Each structure stands twice: as structure tokens, then as C-alpha cells.
Amino acid sequence: MGQTSHGKAGMPRLTLPALAALTPAGIDVQIVDCRVQPIDYDAPVDLVGITAMTCEAPAAYQIADTFRARNVPVVMGGYHASFLPEEAGLHADAVVIGEAELVWRDLIEGFRSGRPRSLYAADRLCDLNSELPVPRRALLDRTKYFTFNTIQATRGCSKGCSYCSIDAFFGPSFRKRSPEAVVSEIRGMLSPPNAGRGRMDRHIVFIDDNLTLDRSYARQLFKAMIPLSIKWVCQATTELAEDAELLGLAARSGCMLVSVGFESFNPPNVARLRKNWAAAGVTGGQAAAQPLEAVCEAFRHAVGRFHKQGVCVLGNFMLGFDDDDPDVIAKTIRASLAINVDAAYFHIVTPMPGTKLHDDLARENRITTRDWAQYDSGHVVFTPKLLSPAALQDAFRQAYREYYSIGRIASRVFRSPRQVITRLAINWSTRRKAKRL
């Protein structure tokens, strides 16, 4: 099984290790993460399973075509294949739509019997407490990742952002594993023979889309995690900063960094996105009437609340919404510096297949390329409303140049004595990524 270059990746993905755990006994499974490992196309395999994000789809199709040319059957799944099954079916013998945990054993039996279907569609969402296995992490080479311990406690996000594949794939659902199951899995990851021996091997990354969406659940989870004495990272919205008790529990349980989707400082965008209203100090209907500077100040205070608890903030900012003109883009870059986040990712608005944004831009004939390799949030693939594609692309590059100058990295890293190593690591790794872009 494979994912779609080599070197070290930030962290492993869990889809293939989870499916490996559902594979019937007696079937040998090998996982090849193509981000960090070469593929042996001559390996004696009977079935190849591939999952890939949209920007990886061209590489995934090439891998699939190469194996099929050797008469090795291929199955493809994941977001991209689920949204475009006919396209994926041109390169695969079977396509999985939806959550593969629900159809994997049926799919394996179909290939073993010689009667596979061309399409395996999950007809519901799986129960995370009874149908989600503990991934077979031992099939991964932990030396290939900067942080090896990834885990999932929840799935989904009900914020409904038009550009988000999560909402398109899962709908408005938000499912949770029991805190006891999450803690048990973490203990297993940190215990022999699974545990590594390095300093980073007690660091955990939650790959959840919005870990603190259900605050009551998050409180229970963080309380249960306190005795583990770990350090951990997650994705959340500014709502976490608004809840002093919850943020305090996160810090006590080992939270060292939160990746926050600020997305935009532009008030019309804030009103439309629906997830940062409270942090901006307004209700949704009032957000569009606020000045950009007021939104910036509100976000700065939210970041300050994270910092008071010793939690670093990785800010995510999007460029190219329909209300973004050149002046707004320039102000967004300056504001990203002003709110004192510890590091930042900049993303060009990208109409991912399956999303409402994609459908809207396609209907308006504004999508300019179907080269999926460019759908990595680093390339302009549509016609913006208020600036040219070239201007948006240049602004993206300028944002990284300004934010990750050596001087600005130094000022952020040594802003306070807490979490210096964390800030240095994420700033330097992101600077390297930006230079590659």
C-alpha cells in the first residue's frame, strides 16, 4: 500500500496503518510512504492500495498505472478519489468512496475471491468507538518522520467553511472517541515495544480537524491526559482561547502548540467564515462592519491568551478571497506579523474538488487549471475577483519572504524564554518549506 520526494516527513498519516489493522489475518501488509521512501515496482504484491490528497493525485495515478501495467490490481481511496471516482477509476481496478474502514474487509474478500467490484461506497459514517481500529504503526519506519506519534480523537467539523474538504467529506457531523480509548492508545504508543527513545518520542500530534469543537468533550479528554506527562499539538479555532478553563486544562495536560485557522483579517471574510466571530468581539452579522484593524487587535488578544498559558500559536492565513484586493492582501501580511503568532502558514484560496467553493467557481467559469499538482494552496488555480492571478501569486511569495526573514525569525524565537526550541524548529522548517515553494 502506498501514499504519494524522499527524505523526512513531518509526521505519518494514519489511514493506511488503520486499514492494515482491519486486514484479515494471513495477509501480509507493507506500507510505503512515498513522501519518504522509494517504491519497489518489482515487489511480489497481489494488491496495491493508494490514498492521496488532491495535490498528490497525479503522482498517485502514475504509481497506479505502473503497477497495473504489470497486471497488479490497484484500489484507490481518500478525499480526491471519493469526490472524483470516475477520474480515479481510470487508474484503478476499484475505488473506495467515503470512510474505507466500513468497506475494507468486503473489498479484500472481493479481490481474494476474484470478484471485486469497481466501486466500494460507504453508506454511512463509522462509529469511532467500535469501528476504528488502533493503527498498526509498527509497519511505518519511525526514523523517516520528525514526529512519529500521531493520533485521532475526533473526526469532522461543523463550521461549514465553503473551501473545506472536511465539511464536504463528512458533512456537519462531529464524532468523538471516548477519552479512555484515546488515553489507552497514547499509553500504548509510549510503552515498549512501541516507544522510541528520543526526546520527541513523548510528543503527540492530534490530527483532528478541530479537537476542541465540543468543549465538554475536550475538558474530559484533557483531564484524562494530565497524568500522561506528554507534550502535544493540535488544530483548533480561536474559541479555545475564549474559554479560560479549557485552555488551562489544555496547558496542564501538555499542550505546547495549537495550529489556529485565523484565515483572514478582512471583516467581510470573517463574517462569511463563521468561526472567528467571537474572537473578533462581534456577532456574525456585525463582523462585516468592523475595521480590519479591530479584527487584528482582537486576534492579537486571543494569541496573548494562548501565550499566557505557555502555548505557542501557529497561525494559518488565506489569501485571495473575493473581497481581498491588493491593499487588503498587503494589510493581511502586516497583520500576521502584528498579532504575535509564533509561526505562520500562508495559503492561497484553493477550490478543492467536492467543496462548495469549487462548485461556485466552476459555475462562474473561474477555475483556470485542473492540474491537481497545483492544488497545494501554494499556486493560484482560479481567477480572483479583485486582483490578477499573478498579483496573488506574488503576494503569496512576498508573505513568506517577509515573515521568514532571518531577523523576524530571531525576534519571534527569542520573544520569551518559554518554548524557544519549539518556535525555532517550526520557524526554521517552515522557512525551508517556503524556499522550496
Residue at a domain's end among 105, 121, 137 = 121
Within a domain: residue 133?
A: no
How many structural domains does the chain have? 2
Statement to judge: residues 203 and 288 lie in one domain: yes
Residue at a domain's end among 82, 103, 121 = 121
Predicted confidence (pLDDT) per residue in 316-330, tens digit: 999 999 999 999 999
Predicted confidence (pLDDT) per residue in 133-143, tens digit: 999 999 999 99
Cα distance between residue 31 and residue 311, in whole Å: 34
Statement to judge: residues 207 and 349 lie in one domain: yes
Per the prediction, the chain carries an average pLDDT of 92
State the pLDDT at residue 431: 83
Report the CATH number at residue 263: 3.80.30.20
In this structure, are residues 387 and 325 in contact, taking their beta carbons and an 8 Å threshold?
Answer: yes
264 pLDDT band, cuts 50/70/90, is very high
Range of the domain at 117: 2-121
Q: 4, 82, 100: which is closest to 376 by C-alpha?
A: 4
Task: Let me know how many helices (H) and strands (E) the chain has, helices first.
Answer: 18, 14
Within a domain: residue 134?
A: no
Within a domain: residue 131?
A: no
Statement to judge: residues 295 and 417 lie in one domain: yes
Residue at a domain's end among 121, 136, 160 = 121
Statement to judge: residues 151 and 72 lie in one domain: no
The CA-atom distances, in angstroms, between 338 and each of 253, 265, 279, 426 are 29, 11, 16, 18
Hey, what's the cell of 207? 490530527
The pTM assigned to this predicted structure is 0.92
> What's the half-sphere exposure (Cβ side, CA atoms, 13 Å) at 295?
28
> What's the half-sphere exposure (Cβ side, CA atoms, 13 Å) at 356?
9
Report the CATH number at residue 90: 3.40.50
In this structure, are residues 253 and 228 in contact, taking their beta carbons and an 8 Å threshold?
Answer: yes
274 pLDDT band, cuts 50/70/90, is low
Statement to judge: residues 78 and 151 lie in one domain: no
Predicted confidence (pLDDT) per residue in 340-386, tens digit: 999 999 999 999 999 999 999 999 999 999 999 999 999 999 999 99
223 pLDDT band, cuts 50/70/90, is very high
Within a domain: residue 138?
A: no
Query: Both ends of the chain: CA-CA distance in Å?
Result: 28
